Amino acid sequence: MKPWVTIKFVTPRDGRGWIGLGCFALVVFILGMVAADKTILESDAFLILATALIVTGWVNGPVGWAYQATKGGGELADRNAALVQRQAEASPPISEEPKP
């Protein structure tokens, strides 16, 4: 007998998903630390470290996204090169003489 609902642990399928998950976990961890001990907000070292971690995470996210977005770039370049080659073979020859 099959269950009505199947719960699966969904993991990101590429680097962009892992980056997003990591940024979210980082923010939740820092907010959890603050919720557990409010006196930690009085520490300048914690505020600097938390700000640096969150800002670094949110800056690295778009950079990582841009890097991962080009992972299929090689295949795309090969397809474009083949398309250009077919069009070049099908086009009429260009004369060497300049037109007046």
pLDDT tens digits for 3-15? 666 556 666 666 6
Global pTM reads 0.49
Predicted confidence at residue 36, as pLDDT, reads: 94
Place of tokens 């009429």: 92
Please give the average per-residue pLDDT across 41-47, as a whole number: 91
pLDDT of residue 82: 87
Write the CA distances from 65 to 38, 75, 83, 99, integer angstroms. Answer: 34, 18, 28, 49
Query: 């959890």: which residue's tokens?
Result: 32
Q: pLDDT tens, 20-43?
A: 777 788 888 888 998 999 999 899
Selected residue with higher pLDDT from 53 and 2: 53
pLDDT at 64 over 90: no
Stronger pLDDT, 75 or 27, i.e. the higher one: 27
Whether residue 68 contacts residue 16, with contact meaning beta carbons closer than 8 Å, is answered with yes
